Amino acid sequence: MAMNVRIPEELDRQLDAIAAASHTSKNALLLQGAALIVEQHARRNLIDESLQFVKTHDAELLKRLEDA
């Protein structure tokens, strides 16, 4: 899917410098950034689901620990 992205000038200059230093393209950097955001979101969801599981399945244990 093609997409146009408007990038502020300062960020564009920073991306140029990073791309040049890492011998890659700005497009590749933006794809890496998008992949990191997706990964971070998935990890956050997994953590939230895990905490909810513990809260619901171990509520009695958590209450006993709270009272200890």
Q: How confident is the model at residue 66 (pLDDT cuts 50, 70, 90)?
A: confident
Rounded to an integer, what distance in angstroms lies between the CA atom of residue 63 and that of residue 23?
55
Q: What is the pLDDT of residues 27-49, one digit of tens each?
A: 999 999 999 999 999 999 999 99
Distances (CA, A) of 61 to 17, 27, 31, 56, 67: 53, 50, 44, 10, 10
- DSSP alpha helices (H): ranges in 1-68? 9-21, 26-57, 59-67
The pTM (predicted TM-score) of the whole model is 0.72
32: CB partners within 8 A, 6+ apart: none
